[in-house]
Amino acid sequence: PFKLLGILDVENIPCARDSVLYGSLGSVVAGLGHFLLTSRIRRSCDVGVGGFILVTLGCWFHCRYNYAKLRIQERMAREGIKNKILYESTHLDPEKKPNSSSST
């Protein structure tokens, strides 16, 4: 397993791999772009680190939000399937139409 800084297991944590990869790409783009515009090395490294942090956190929160939303949808679908199996062919089945001839 690949561990980032010895603590973050990038392979097993959802969204961690993509966030780190996009963050490193954002770091290179921000740092190199700033260096090409200003030719200041130290400031470009600072901009690169800032770009890494911003892009990594932005990708992390976006991915985790979508991941949580997907988990909620999966849970709702799982409950719906469970209720469908549980209540099918019973008097509690919402799809079962009431029989009008037996009610009179």
Q: In whole angstroms, what is the distance from residue 95 CA to residue 46 CA?
A: 62
pLDDT of the residue at 83:
82
Residue 49 in tokens: 């680190």
Region 90-103 average pLDDT? 64
pLDDT of the residue at 3:
64
Render pLDDT for 38-75 as a digit per residue (tens, 0 to 9): 999 999 999 999 999 999 999 999 999 999 999 999 99
For the full predicted model, state whether its pTM sits above 0.75: no
Render pLDDT for 77-91 as a digit per residue (tens, 0 to 9): 999 888 888 777 777
List Cβ neighbours of 64 (8 Å cut-off, separation of 6 or more).
14, 15
